Structure 1
Amino acid sequence: GIKVKSIFGGSAAQHLCLIDGEDRLWSWGNNAKGQLGVGHTTNLAQPCLVKGALEGKKVTGGAAGKAHTVVILSDGSSFSFGTNKYGQLGLGSVKYSITSKKKNQAEELHTEPVKNTVMNCSQVSCGSEFTLWLVGGTGGVLSAGHPEYGQLGHGTDNQYNASESSLKMYFQPQPQPKYIAALASKKVVAIASGNNHSLALDSDGHLHSWGFGGYGRLGHKVQKDEFKPRQIEMFENRLTLPLDSKIACGNMTSFATIKGGQLYIWGKPKATGDTIMYPKPLLEISGWDIRSIACGNGTFAIASETSAITWGTAGYQELGYGPKGKKSSANPAQVLDLEGKLTLEVACGFGNVAFLVDEKEDLSSFEEWEAPEVVTPQPEPAKKRKGGAKAGGKGKKKK
């Protein structure tokens, strides 16, 4: 086996990644767009070492989007792989225009790691179809990708009409990572992204949010999209956040920890029920020393003390309650099989949750995962038609 140092996923991702003790990257899961970076587009049921341009290099962190992955290396450089349809890989250009009328135009996929244009990177976060990079030292934030809800933070959604005769609106992709001007006067120390919104924590303990504002996920008491970062009023004065605050974004929710072991939540954490329009303490987690927090599409996971805690709307038993346990949980609940064990880190995706447990813990009672063999479907041979179409007859319409 390998020693795992870190794990990561993303709220919209159907794949997971890990960094091993030798600072190498491994990935597994959905690979339809090459987001695993292993040189092909076949799904993988178990971790596979990512080589190519990363071979011999030290990976220090990363994040996963819906169909792309971005990592950072020990020298501050950043590599990306997966789809570049909206410029989310940060390569400086996109191969095809989104308004192109060419039939059967292939989507731009990079199935192996490609170096993007960002340098001196200290952290990265991925939304569904966009990416943020935090620059070490200066604390500047760059963004690239899909701008539809203002999630790039540049004051616009880049919407335009392709022609005067067309009613269809398009959103111009931004393939070149660009500094977010609204944060230029701040030194950002941490970033987090959900499907279409983001958070940034600055060195003064203030939290900023922008992007899609539905269900109150931005914490501004209104359901309004924000096209550039806006400071959340709640976290001011005596409620400023510590610089080591854990911040996280799900599809429709946001989280932040404050001093004293209190977790604040806003947005729509439950499939039913009211929305939380501004940050409120999550009382069930009050007093817990949170080490790690992660969000899936509608699921949440926390590593705290010697417990792992999960909750949310789940469809694949990813909350870890066991085959006979409940599938979903409206409120935070401890994962009993991991109770008393030191969970170092948690990672979530769309339909999956991963727990990184300290190597000193006894895990002999756990079954070892045996990955099923992945079978690539083969196209059926074309059947010969009996006879030909009669002259003047009507052929069958294609469905």
Structure 2
Amino acid sequence: MNFLTVDLAMAAVEEPSAKRQKIEEKPEDSAEDVSNGKEEEVEKKKPSGIPLICGSMNWDLMGREKSRVNTKPRKVEPAWTPQIISALSEVRVTDIIAGPCAAHSFFITDKGKLFGLGRNESGQLGLGNTIRQDGAIEIPFFVDKKVIGAAVGRGHSIVLTEEDGAYGMGENDMGQLGIGTNVGKGATVTTPKPVQLQQKVKNAACGFDFTLFVTSKGFLYSAGSSESGQLGINDNGEYIEGRKLFYTAHAVPTRVHSFFTKDPRTKEVTRVPNVLIRYVSAGQHHCLAISENDELYTWGFNGHGRLGHRTTENELIPMRVLHFRPGDKNSSVKIAKCSYGGCFAVNNLGNLYCWGQNQINRLECPYPIPVEDLYGWNVNDIGPGKNHHVVAADFSSIAFGKATTGELGMGHTVKSSSRPDKMHGVDGLKMIQCGAGAAHTLLLAADDDDESKEILKKLDVNDD
């Protein structure tokens, strides 16, 4: 990997056959100076709908060869096609939260209430215990708060509230909750605790053992393990103790100050000034961020080329993905999310791109390529997972990848699909959002017309 050093005053890049080049970073270039403390404008009212689920409900066993839990795993038939979640059928849901590393999920209602289900062995649901939650239940801790967002990782969660900031719960062995404390291996937090950030958090993303936070001013912070550079602070935190290799844990969120771009011809690296972030996403050990200028940055672990920089070398700082060019309607990024081992992005024309390892015809690519099977579709949302992915396009839900427990939503006869295909049972429904977790899929269906209501009436109800 090319060694990149970032200082408060300058940054430099060194390549095997090139001279060291210095990059000036002037204090007046700081994004903090140009933000003027401006808070994000009030968002428009979010559309709401009916949440659906398909895939495995064996939360303790998903993604494992053997169970490692303190409750007896249950064995139930998977939902082979999308089903209505009974506990949420009488509320209006505005957000569904799933993640490629997670076997638990959250739902946010139009009243700001938070519901959760799934694996809970580390207290990641914030229920004050470590008992598995088979059906959706409202999280009591947030009953008197207005929830505006959430994120889920392997064994930890972040919940964003309107009144008093962000909260973390679940695994905290690497300080990934950002609550200011961590006590090493086995550390868990079963009751939500405040994240140590004084600014309001508008967006968060959880990876395997780290977390990203975006404040209302557009500043990016990170906490947790820095093993592959996923914190974006130009340090992977390696240190040796007793002949063993360890990695530094950052229990307090650290500001990511600098963002860079590399000239594809000369390989010269320069700092991009005044970058403010509007959205972040996290995979296993890699990250992406979209700036308010619609620039796309990626960093962290780069196995299989999942960062999209045409290399497989890890990046310790956010580096711009050159394929997407702000202001160009053909290549300006609208949506981008991390899968477990790669990334997906949608441009302003609604075309879908992918890179890294993403289960499309078993192709691995270190730079963005179009998903040609979806040419002509207008992609509304994407839900990248680990072994399977889901796409909401026009009035269809499309899935592809490996699946043995119904997560593709195509019936019990379809175990995998290397090419995108429709979930025929919900064809004709417009999906507001979609998400892919460990061996399960979530969909948020619009029900604002008679035709949609008729389709929903024909679906089974999951009454766990």
Structure-2-length-normalised TM-score: 0.74
Q: Deviations over 1:70-91 (max 9, x none)?
A: 0111247101111111111010
Whether 2:341 is the aligned partner of 1:341: answer no
- Aligned residues, how many? 355
What pairs with 1:48-197 in structure 2 (closer than 5 Å)?
Answer: 48-52=137-141, 54-75=142-163, 77-94=165-182, 96-97=183-184, 107-118=186-197, 119-136=199-216, 138-163=217-242, 166=243, 168-183=244-259, 185-197=274-286
Kindly state the Cα deviation for residue 239 of structure 1 after the two structures are TM-superposed: 6.7
- CA-based RMSD of the aligned residues comes to 1.7
Kindly state the Cα deviation for residue 139 of structure 1 after the two structures are TM-superposed: 1.3
* Larger-gyration structure (1/2): 1
After superposition, the Cα gap between the structure-2 partners of 1:66 and 1:97, relative to the gap in structure 1 and judged at 3 Å, is closer
- Structure 2 gap segments, 5+ residues each: 1-89, 260-272
Q: Deviations over 1:319-354 (max 9, x none)?
A: 100123x12111111110110012111111111101
Whether 2:318 is the aligned partner of 1:212: answer no
Contact 2:360 2:400 in 1 (8 A): no
Q: Deviations over 1:182-210 (max 9, x none)?
A: 14730112211111111111133221100
Kindly state the Cα deviation for residue 288 of structure 1 after the two structures are TM-superposed: 2.0
Contact 2:100 2:385 in 1 (8 A): yes
Percent of aligned pairs sharing the same letter: 28
* AA at the equivalent of 1:366: L
* AA at the equivalent of 1:295: P
More off after superposition, 335-344 vs 180-189: 180-189
Match of 1:389 in 2: none
Whether 2:105 is the aligned partner of 1:39: answer no
After superposition, the Cα gap between the structure-2 partners of 1:241 and 1:114, relative to the gap in structure 1 and judged at 3 Å, is farther
Kindly state the Cα deviation for residue 281 of structure 1 after the two structures are TM-superposed: 1.2
Q: Deviations over 1:199-230 (max 9, x none)?
A: 11113322110011000100011111111101
Structure-1-length-normalised TM-score: 0.85
* AA at the equivalent of 2:460: E
Partner Cα distance (1:21, 1:190) in 2: 21
Partner Cα distance (2:127, 2:251) in 1: 23
Partner Cα distance (2:164, 2:421) in 1: 38
SS at match of 2:258: helix
SS at match of 2:324: coil
Match of 1:369 in 2: 462
* AA at the equivalent of 1:176: V
Contact 2:145 2:163 in 1 (8 A): no
Contact 2:151 2:204 in 1 (8 A): yes
Partner Cα distance (2:188, 2:249) in 1: 15
Match of 1:19 in 2: 108
What pairs with 1:293-332 in structure 2 (closer than 5 Å)?
Answer: 293-324=382-413, 326-332=414-420
More off after superposition, 258-267 vs 61-70: 258-267
Q: Deviations over 1:245-285 (max 9, x none)?
A: 11111111101111212111111112873411101111112
More off after superposition, 271-280 vs 261-270: 271-280
